[in-house]
Amino acid sequence: MTRIEKLRELGYTLPPPFPALGSYAVVTTEGPQVFVSGLGPVKDGKLVRGLVGDDMTLAEAQDAARLTMLMILASLEKECGLDRIARCLRLTVYVRAVPSFEAHPKVADGASDLVRDLFGADVLPARSALGVHSLPMGIPVEIDSIFSLTG
């Protein structure tokens, strides 16, 4: 089963990849590693905006993290093909939230759970989940990531 077929089986479809918004590449490859620039959530062709703990609930933030992972996967599919990806090595998840919000790791689970379901629980990535004051264009979640290519 291809990774695209697996995503469909899980109930997901990939969105169109979002273009770079500045002087950078969305995806770069060096040896067996693939680096994906920080991306955010897109739903129905529009950026998802919100402040976690204010106008966005934990469940909505987890969904935003999942949508962000789908955008990362779409970018990988476009640049090198998902079937060439062996696993996700690292996720850094930035969560734009009110100062009192403390459940950043739970927000990040929205992305990590999708990675687990697609690549397997035995190859979960290393991960950081950070709270930030601001993110581009008011998005609630931004994720940058590192993947490895198959041998």
Tens-digit pLDDT profile for residues 64-113: 999 999 999 999 999 999 999 999 999 999 999 999 999 999 999 999 99
Length of the chain: 151
3-state secondary structure of 20: coil
**Confidence tier at 62 by pLDDT (50, 70, 90):** very high
CB contact set of 59 (below 8 Å; sequence gap of 6+):
none
5 has pLDDT over 80: yes
Mean pLDDT in residue range 111-121 = 97
**What distance in Å separates the CA atoms of residue 106 and residue 28, rounded to the nearest whole number?**
28
Q: What is the pLDDT of residues 133-148, one digit of tens each?
A: 999 999 999 999 999 9
Which domains, ranges and CATH numbers included, belong to the chain?
Answer: 3-17+25-149 (3.30.1330.40)
Is this structure's pTM higher than 0.75?
yes
